[in-house]
Amino acid sequence: MVNREFTVENDPRILFGKRLAKIRKELGWTQEGLAIESGIARSYLSGIERGKRNIALINIYKLAQTLKIPVKELVDI
Amino acid sequence: MVNREFTVENDPRILFGKRLAKIRKELGWTQEGLAIESGIARSYLSGIERGKRNIALINIYKLAQTLKIPVKELVDI
C-alpha cells in the first residue's frame, strides 16, 4: 500500500526496520534465527526490516522479548 | 480475537492501552480531542485504551507525534 503521508526520512516503518536490523546484528542474531525464535515468519521479518510492513504491537513485543531488550529500546525511532 | 498467549498482566495491548490513557490524561487531552487531532477514529482509540486493539506502528507514531512525546516514551510498557 502506498502511503503518501511519510517520506523516506520520517516513515516510521523504515525507521523501525533499520533500528531492528541494527539491534539484531549487534546482538548477534541472524534474521532466520530471530524469525524462528520469535515465531514471526522469516519473509515477514524481512519485510519489516526493509520498512515494507506496518508491524503491530504484539509482534514488536515478541521481537523485544526474543532479543531480551525493553520494547522502548526497540522502538527508539 | 482471543489471544491465549498473554495474561491480563502481560498482554502488550492492555499495557499499552493503560499507558496511553495515563499519558493522554496527564497531558490534558480528551479522548475525542486526541482522536480528531491524530486522525484516528474515536471508537478505535477507545478500543486501544481498553486493550482490545493490536495497534500498529504508524498509529503509535501518529499518537506520539500528536502528544508531542517520543515514541519510546509512549511504548514504555
Q: How many DSSP H helices and E strands does chain B contain? A: 5, 0
In this prediction, residue B22 carries a pLDDT of: 98
Q: What is the mean pLDDT of residues A32-60?
A: 97
More confident residue, A9 or A30: A30
- CATH level 3 topology of A12-68: 434 Repressor (Amino-terminal Domain) (1.10.260)
* Identity of the residue in A13, A54, A72 whose CB atom sits nearest the CB atom of B75: A72
Contact B57 A3 (CB under 8 A): no
DSSP A27-71: TT--HHHHHHHHT--HHHHHHHHTT----BHHHHHHHHHHHTS-H
When the pLDDT of each residue in chain A is averaged and rounded to a whole number, the result is 94
Task: Give the residue extent of every domain in chain B.
Answer: 12-68
Give, in order, the Cα–Cα distances in Å from B22 to each of A30, B15, B49, B64: 37, 11, 9, 13
pLDDT digits (tens, 9 = 90+) for B4-52: 678 888 999 999 999 999 999 999 999 999 999 999 999 999 999 999 9
Subunit contact A71:B13, Cβ cutoff 8 A = no
Q: Which residues of B touch A12 (CB under 8 A)?
A: 57-58, 60-61, 71
